[in-house]
Structure 1
Amino acid sequence: MSRQPIYAILADELVRDIRTGLYPLGSLLPTEIEMAEDRGLSRSTVRAALGRLVQLGLVTRQKGVGTRVTSIEPGSYNPSTTSIEELAHFGAATHRTLLGIEEVTLDMTLAKRLGVPAGSRWFRVRTLRSDIKTAALPICFTENYIDIELPGVIHDIGDYSELIATRIASRYGSVVDEVRQVIRPRILDEELCSLLRTAPNELALEIRRQYCSAGRLIYVSLSQHPADRFEYHMSLHR
């Protein structure tokens, strides 16, 4: 039996259908409901598969119009996130390499970057992520800061690929209901250039995400994405 998630298998099939011309450039894919009924799948599974195609730069999605084919070859990594549920699929679509775990007390500079009080204590988990299907190079380097009161999350963190926020919910029942995100440019230092295998002084996008549950900040991630491997797409609808 395949170890791939069902949505990833469906995404692979759709990529093949686009490449072979079943869905030509500019055409619309079947709707979520049509795909779900035809294949006996849930709409959430179909939605995740279509989200994967958006990440690969093969389609765009527009409310009231549908999912349109815009390319027949995958491009750079293009996450398109419109909900916390779609963000959770990122973990299943990528592979995480654990680099280290430590307990830290934040100084003023780091606390400001994370948007948390100086002197607070966190578990810091350093990771690299790469695309399961296509990426020979890492997508991003991430420092994950986990509430010191949630030690059970880090014990087997090297054995699962799902988002840390998802594991917090399953272990402690603290379901993330708000994610605050800030994106800003940054020049990678020598260590990160080596880890991410980039040229010296490479430009990157730094993404800070603060994960909250019932108004409480439980987890902060700080990710560095090399600029030539990452595009961030967002659609706003009225």
Structure 2
Amino acid sequence: MPAGDRGKEPPVGDATGVLLDLVRLDRSSPVPLYFQLAQGIQGAVVDGLLPPGSRIDNEILLAERLGVSRPTVRQAMQYLVEQGLVVRRRGIGTKVVQPQVRRPLGLTSLFDDLRNDGQEPTTAVLTLVVVPAEATVAAALGLEEGDDVVELVRLRSAGTRPIAKMTNYLPVGRVELTREAIEMGGLYELIRSAGVTLHAATQTIGARTATAAEARLLEEPRGAALLTMQRTAYDDQGVAVEHGSHVYAASRYSFQAQLLSP
């Protein structure tokens, strides 16, 4: 590929030509060839050089063109399938899909998780007002129903693609929030900068279909699958600091948990 064309997206369907130009396999390396191949393809997808919809040659042709064995290609493709970067369908072949954001289950903000994953998080503040607490919010925050709380609604995106609509409630006066500060960083970062030590949280994850308004906001089809999360975070004194109710586009987002044997 000429140097002046490297920043351009290849036409959908021209994936193998891009791979031949980008993937460099080092047969003297202790890193397995399948993993070198998988990492090369993954890098091309993340960098946008292989856009969603790009088709990759079948295993036999790709193995021949790259000078590797068919099992090597098969193992690389299986790794990419498990990472959610490609799909394989009989009669269609292997196709690049929109990569998902996989968020570990921990006391972190989506902003930090995206940034740590090498993506560019952006935030649009939709609402920042003081409202009377509804019963569920008051119960979560240990307040009386009708007490004032700060209601914060944001649209969080990775680059230009919206991922989540995030609604959070905080007790009035605990943390100073401004639109400018919220758009520059994560909510937990602002809470910690106010001198609050986040210690624990309760969290519930579910799923449902998108409303028409949510679908428009997240650029998803009406009735698309959404992941849902309700979380209440507590400080080191056991006092509730914030309560959140978030929805995520399931096509671009998933939760990831590490399970340990007792």
Structure 1 length normalisation: TM-score?
0.61
Superposition map of 1:1-238 within 5 A: 20-21=24-25, 24-26=33-35, 70-71=79-80, 73=85, 75-81=99-105, 83-84=106-107, 89-90=112-113, 92=115, 93=119, 94-108=121-135, 118-132=145-159, 136-154=160-178, 156-161=180-185, 163-171=186-194, 173-214=195-236, 215-238=238-261
CA shift for structure 1 position 89: 2.6
Q: State the percentage of identical aligned residues.
A: 16
Moved more, 148-157 or 184-193: 148-157
Larger Rg: 2
| Counterparts of 1:202 and 1:87, CA distance in 2 | 21
- What amino acid does structure 2 have at the position aligned with 1:236? L
- CA 1:145/1:182 → structure 2, altered by over 3 Å: closer, same or farther? same
Which blocks of at least 5 consecutive residues in structure 1 are unaligned?
Answer: 1-17, 28-51, 53-68
CA shift for structure 1 position 157: 2.9
* Runs of 4+, deviation exceeding 4 Å: 18-24, 85-88, 109-112, 114-117
CA shift for structure 1 position 121: 2.4
Equivalent pairs, count: 174
- What amino acid does structure 2 have at the position aligned with 1:105? P
| Counterparts of 1:144 and 1:21, CA distance in 2 | 47
Structure 2 length normalisation: TM-score?
0.56
